[in-house]
Amino acid sequence: MVEKILKRIYMMLIFIFMYAPIVVLVVFSFNNSKSRSSWDGFTLKWYIELFKDRQIMKSLYYTVTIAVMASVISTVTGTIAAIGIYDMKKLPKKLLLNINYLPVLNPDIVTGVALMTLYIFAGMRLGFMTMLLSHITFDIPYVILAVLPKLRQLPKNTLEAAMDLGATPFYALRKVILPQIKPGIVSGLLIAFTMSIDDFVISFFTTGSGVTNLSITIYSMARRGINPKINALSTLMFATVLMLLLILNKKSPKELIGKGSDELY
């Protein structure tokens, strides 16, 4: 009994340690004062000023645009790559998986400098396109790692059974395989989107003048002191991600898998 209580207290302390800074940030985004040490009354003025700030709105536009495009492209590419890797023989599969781990384990600063050097060597102008390509590059490995476990859970003869029933390879892939691995695809999409929104180091090295995302803008603002508008922006981003997770968690695993496999029969 005592051991069970201690485990719960330990778990509670971990969650407090993780989320206390976010709670403080949210609370002080409504603080009437710029001070982070005293409460001076409730206000929404920092949210109003946030939407009036052209620099932040421009950064938000680039951040969301690049994150959506990079996550969608990397999810499609990563899913196809995961299916291809899954069907490979043992040695090539092991080799490709080890290569896939490199961008995940590699320090961001190494990846950022390497990509910047590649773009300059190729004569590409640093800007929107180079940042988008960079985000796609580091998103793909995470999508592959999210989709592969779902492929391993499938019976080995699923595709063959569908084709024996008259399905073409493409139809079997679209109506049988993809619905079964849909939870992994959705997870990969969310991870890719979050990684793209969050990235600073690689974006910093691969962007050009006039193109910045929120992480770069916040870094530039923080060097001059923490502006309460940053708290308001961070609160809105946190609330958006939280709402997205709550909406997705409303669906049961059965609903996420879908009824695609039943349509064949």
pLDDT (0 to 100) of residue 260: 40
The structure tokens listed for 80 are 């196809």
Mean pLDDT for 91-104 is: 88
Please state the length of the chain. 265
> Is-contact 135 63, C-beta < 8 A?
no
- Distances from the Cα of 260 to the Cα of 118, 145, 177, angstroms: 42, 23, 9
The letter for the amino acid at 159 is: L
For residues 185 and 248, give the distance between their C-alpha atoms in angstroms, rounded to a whole number. 13
Mean pLDDT of the chain: 85
What are the residues facing 42 on neighbouring strands?
A: 31
Share of the chain above pLDDT 70, in %: 93
The span from the CA of 219 to the CA of 207, in Å, is 14
CA terminus-to-terminus distance, the chain: 52
pLDDT band at 251 (very low <50, low <70, confident <90, very high): low
Please say if the pLDDT value at position 72 is more than 70.
yes
pLDDT band at 134 (very low <50, low <70, confident <90, very high): very high
- 45-52 vs 228-249: helix crossing angle, rounded to 10: 90
Residue 257, pLDDT > 70, answer no
Residue-level pLDDT at 82: 92
Task: Give residues with Cβ within 8 angstroms of 96, minimum separation 6.
Answer: 85, 88
**Has residue 28 got a pLDDT over 70?**
yes
Q: Is 168 exposed, middle or buried (0-12, 13-18, 19+ CB in 10 A)?
A: exposed
240 vs 226, more confident: 240
Q: What is the pTM of this model?
A: 0.81
Instruction: Please calculate the CA angle 83-173-256 and round it to the nearest 5 degrees.
Output: 85
Is residue 183 a contact partner of residue 257, using CB atoms and an 8 Å limit? yes
